[in-house]
Amino acid sequence: MASKKSRREFVKKSVLGMVMGSALATAPSMAKPNSKKEDPFDLGFAGYTFRHFDLKESLEMISKLEVTYLCIKDFHLPLESSEAEIKAFHEQLAASNVKGYAVGPIYMKTRKEIDEGFEYAKRVGVDMIVGIPMHEDLKYLEGKVKEYDMKYAIHNHGPEDKLYPNAKVAVDLIKDLDARIGLCFDMGHNMRDGRDPVKDLETYIDRIHDIHLKNVTEAKDEGKTCELGRGVIDIPAFVDMLRKVNYDGKCSLEYEKDMKTPLQGISESVGYFRGVQDAR
């Protein structure tokens, strides 16, 4: 039976050959990929990718791709989960060599929902919430961040989102608040709202606590999520910027195409991302 390392190398090389083509083949550092130091950021999955699958099915796909980190969605671990259910959940993740590093996104339309979200995150044992609070509750949210000593990453959702359409809008609202309040930077939605994800990564790095890694078909509201190497965002340039700004959080793939049959698309996307890392 092939080792995990050899299977991973096979996935990377085969997808790299199909998708990346000559663009990466001509990269100057391609000849000596082993000379590069390990990146400070980690590849993960946004739980929303698996909205049509139970936890067991989701972990099977994650494990096949040898991805280690998962942002936990409440359809896999409900907010009202008991201590026993949370313990069993973590044991199931650990058996697949997966670690839940954050919870969310969680919509928080009231202060009561903010309270419940922080208690949930504390019980789950993570130190970050990805969420969407109301503007008028941001000062209240700041108090909770201080009380729980926990990061809160506001998720931007593109032009349809009247609260946080892009990174600039979000940062302008939180710039004077505790630095633990930051962004879950959805680079695809940011692009759909007319922003440059590479430039915004550089500009707002001090407030970026988490990244939803994706590509989109168009830089406008009609743009749809697609395989990571097939959209309008320059992923190699994004990886270069991650390194330049020394981002040390998670890049969690959020794949919203073919959501009932995502394995082929997420396999291609994971292989592409790892191929970009190796080639630059």
Q: What is the pLDDT of residue 8?
A: 54
Cα–Cα dist 129/139, whole Å: 16
Cα–Cα dist 124/117, whole Å: 10
pLDDT in tens, 137-191: 999 999 999 999 999 999 999 999 999 999 999 999 999 999 999 999 999 999 9
Mean pLDDT of the chain: 91
Burial of 90 by CB count in 10 Å (0-12 exposed, 13-18 middle, 19+ buried)? middle
Residue 195, pLDDT above cutoff 70: yes
pLDDT in tens, 104-123: 999 999 999 999 999 999 99
Q: What is the pLDDT of residue 280?
A: 87
Percent of the chain surpassing pLDDT 70: 87
Of 22, 4, 113, 14, which Cα lies nearest the Cα of 68? 4
Question: Is this structure's pTM higher than 0.85?
Answer: yes
Cis peptide leading into 105, omega within 30 of 0? yes
For residue 214, the Cα-to-chain-centroid distance in whole angstroms is: 8
Other residues' Cβ atoms within 10 Å of the Cβ of residue 31: 8
For residue 199, the Cα-to-chain-centroid distance in whole angstroms is: 18
Q: What is the pLDDT of residue 37?
A: 80
Of 34, 26, 46, 13, which Cα lies nearest the Cα of 236? 26
Confidence of residue 35 (pLDDT cuts 50, 70, 90): low
DSSP state of 29: G
pLDDT in tens, 234-262: 999 999 999 999 999 999 999 999 999 99
CATH superfamily of 38-279: Divalent-metal-dependent TIM barrel enzymes (3.20.20.150)
Residue 33, pLDDT above cutoff 60: no
Of 251, 253, 228, 261, which Cα lies nearest the Cα of 16? 228
Residue 15, pLDDT above cutoff 90: no
